[in-house]
Amino acid sequence: KFIRRCTTQVSNSETVVSSEPEISSNIDNDVPRPGVDLRRFSDIQEERRQEALRSVLVRHVGKATEDELTKFCSHFGEVQNCFTYGNQELYTLLEYKSRGSVHSLLNTSHFRSILEILPYRSRLLCFRTSNWMDNASRRPGMGEMTADQKFSILATKLCAAQSMEEQMQVLVRETQLTEGETRLRFLVCSLVEDAITGYFPGCIVHPFGSSVNGFGNKGCDLDMYLNLNVEQHRTKKKKSFPRMEYEVRTVPTERAATQNLLSTVGQSLAEFVPSCRQLQYILHARCPLVKFMHEASGIQCDLTSNNSIALKSSELLNLYSRIDPRVRPLVYAVRHWARMHHITSSMPGGWITNFSLTALVIFFLQYTDKPVLPAIDALKGLADKADTCVLEGNDCTLVSDLTKVQPSENTDSTDELLLEFFEFYSNFNFKNCGLNLRTGEMQEKKNFDALYIQNPFEQQLNLSKNVSMHQLEKFVQLSREAAWMAEQPDFLQPEVGSKGWSTPWGLVSILSGHNRRKKRLMDQKEFTPILTPSSQGIPKGMSDREYTSQNLPSS
């Protein structure tokens, strides 16, 4: 699947093509941060939401072209942006300059037959030209690439870089969500919101998780949070009599209410809303959710409700992703490494989740000698009164103005930090220590969970409670192996073969686990990654392997 930006011919006006989100200049701060988007998280989200509300998603029937589509659509108003994607079947995300144009387009659109379950006026449309029958044959499609083929293409690009630092930049560029993919995610939320608004007026469906936290990968799931906005009605209630109250059905717990709501919403998505397929109800999880595939976008969606703190955690990660330009390349590299070595998985279970993994990176950057990132309490200390936020009784206040955060004095390069990350966790005392991102310090572990990372906002919870001892051991062993590889003399030396391609080096060695010396030693069955003791210090006379096994909590 690909997404490409199409040049939009707009009637009576010049071609308009979207640019990357505007980057505001850092006027008040002495230290400029080139390339960093300094807007408030809430402003970025609102801008994306408004873009989505001005947009429609259109399937091309037969061989209808983008030009034909944009020409047709521009009769209803100025088209601001177009993103066309697809393989055998083409779709265009089309954004108007004003929301009224969407209504004009919908007012003249047709229903196909009388067989529709419900004549539902969705912003998911299909475009048919007069010769659609002649051209109805599908476009020849390119088959989906396997994970190996995708990595092989990526590895070639990474091996062609000049330094490991550049490799990490290339990895971000090649695997991050593109502008079109990000817009598509907001549009899918907006389409689902349209469907739910019919019976819950005023509700909002927010994307959260990796779609908005600055660390999203192509193909990552779309986490959605349905906010019914009932809070507003409650706060307006006055304690005066006589008064009128709503007659409502009650349930024993808030959790039961969430389960009922998601079950009802899920059923209506399955029955009436086009493109929502393969509904799965996971209502007994700690955080009840409904999973479905949004076919037109090809995005796997997880719909939750009563989950406002998760949106705040996404804001927190997003802040960290922008505070220092080294954070994103580092997190992308660690996430990619973890995926390739099956440390993370999309299946539920004892694996380390991407959220926990990102927390591990952030903690390392807070704890390292010269911190790269401030602790959460420090971010709270910089907050204005308007930033105050209490959710479900938890103080979730964070600074929203990024210019208030002082840049770090740490000057290590991104690749140095990556190798320090692997060393740090190769020797970490997981047995006795938990990670506290609020203070940026280790804390005594409060229970026997294998990995303890205090939840940033619900501080009594461990966000990595699910992680099994086996998976933690695997993470430590693979961190040791990565650190070992980085110490090999040929680690940064590409070996150019006769056909001009080079063997894996630098980041590619770490991602693929392939190293020339390791291969030789493995052939001789002598491979044991040995680490030099890090600054945390392995006690004298103890091998690093003994040290690590003693410092992991017992299974």
| CB of 79 or CB of 205, closer to ligand CTP | 205
CB of 209 to ligand CTP, least distance (A): 3
Residue 340: closest CA among 171, 178, 223, 470: 171
Contact residues for 420 (Cβ-Cβ < 8 A; gap 6+): 364, 368, 412
Of 213, 297, 414, 426, the residue at the interface with ligand CTP (CB under 6 A) is 213
Strands 299-305 and 289-294: antiparallel
Tell me the C-alpha distance between 254 and 288, whole Å: 11
Near ligand CTP by CB under 6 A: residue from 101, 353, 397, 426? 353
Choices 71-79, 110-118, 307-315, 499-507; region in contact with ligand CTP by CB under 6 A:
307-315
Query: CB under 5 to 8 A by kind: which of Mg ion, ligand CTP, none does 463 bind?
Result: ligand CTP
Do the Cβ atoms of 338 and 356 come closer than 8 Å? no
Window 280-319: contact mask with Mg ion (x via CB under 5 A): ----------------------------------------
What residue ranges in 97-164 does DSSP mark as E strands?
Answer: 124-127
Does residue 434 bind ligand CTP (CB under 6 A)?
A: no
d(Cα 93, Cα 297) in Å, to the nearest integer? 10
Q: Check if the beta carbon of residue 288 is closer than 8 Å to that of residue 282.
A: yes
Kindly state the number of chain residues that form the binding site for Mg ion, as judged by CB under 5 A: 4
Q: Is 354 in the site for ligand CTP (CB under 6 A)?
A: yes
Residue partners of 426: CB distance under 8 A and separation at least 6 = 476, 479, 480, 483, 531, 534, 544, 548
Compute CA distances 290 → 190, 260, 270, 510, whole Å: 17, 11, 11, 36
**Stretch binding ligand CTP (CB under 6 A), from 158-166, 196-204, 310-318, 361-369:** 310-318
| Window 223-242: residues binding ligand CTP (CB under 6 A) | 223
Q: Which of the listed partners (Mg ion, ligand CTP, none) does 399 bind, with a CB threshold of 5 to 8 Å by partner kind?
A: none
C-beta of 393: minimal distance to ligand CTP in Å? 16
Nearest Cα residue to 302 out of 265, 352, 331, 339: 265
Q: Which is nearer to ligand CTP, 74 or 455 (CB)?
A: 455
401-437 burial, b at 16+ Cβ within 10 Å, e below that, comes to bbbebeebebebebbebbbbbbbbbbbbebeeebbbb
For the bound state, the minimum distance from the C-beta of residue 234 to ligand CTP, rounded and expressed in Å, comes to: 24
- 353 interface partner picked from ligand CTP, Mg ion, none, CB below 5 to 8 A per type: ligand CTP
| Binding to Mg ion in span 212-231, by CB under 5 A | 221, 223
Distance in angstroms (rounded) separating the CA atoms of residues 122 and 120: 6
Closest approach, Cβ 401 to ligand CTP, in A, equals: 22
Q: Which of 77, 180, 209, 216 binds Mg ion (CB under 5 A)?
A: 209
**Applying CB under 6 A, which of residues 77, 209, 288, 506 lies at the interface with ligand CTP?**
209
> Where does this chain touch ligand CTP (CB under 6 A) — which range of 86-94, 121-129, 165-173, 213-221?
213-221
Report the alpha-carbon distance of residue 311 to residue 316 in Å, rounded: 9
**Number of neighbours of residue 452 by Cβ within 10 angstroms:** 24
- Give the largest Cα separation in the chain, rounded: 89
Q: Interaction with ligand CTP in 459-498: which residues (CB under 6 A)?
A: 463
The answer to the question of residue 310 lying near ligand CTP (CB under 6 A) is yes
Q: What is the DSSP letter of 383?
A: -
Residues 540, 533: Cα–Cα separation, whole Å: 9
Residue among 310 and 510 whose Cβ is closer to ligand CTP: 310
As a whole number of angstroms, the distance between CA 422 and CA 450 comes to 18
Nearer CB in complex with Mg ion: 94/463: 463
Q: Minimum Å distance from CB 72 to ligand CTP?
A: 36
Q: Tell me the closest approach of the beta carbon of residue 397 to ligand CTP, in angstroms.
A: 17
Closest listed residue to residue 405, CA positions, set 435, 362, 372, 359: 372
- Strands lying side by side in the sheet with 3-5: 3-5, 79-86, 90-96, 55-60, 124-127
Asked whether position 210 contacts Mg ion by CB under 5 A, the answer is yes
Give the total of residues touching ligand CTP (CB under 6 A): 14
Rounded to the nearest whole angstrom, what is the least distance from the CB of residue 220 to ligand CTP in the complex? 4
Query: In this chain, which of 221, 412, 473, 490 binds ligand CTP, going by CB under 6 A?
Result: 221
314 touches ligand CTP by CB under 6 A: yes
Task: Read off the tokens for 256.
Answer: 């039961």
- From the list Mg ion, ligand CTP, none, partner contacted by residue 310 (C-beta under 5 to 8 A by kind): ligand CTP
Residue number, 181 or 223, with CB nearest to Mg ion? 223
Our CA angle for 50, 56, 59, nearest 5°, is: 155
Which residues contact ligand CTP (rule: CB under 6 A)? 208-210, 213, 220-221, 223, 310, 313-314, 353-355, 463
Which residues contact Mg ion (rule: CB under 5 A)? 209-210, 221, 223
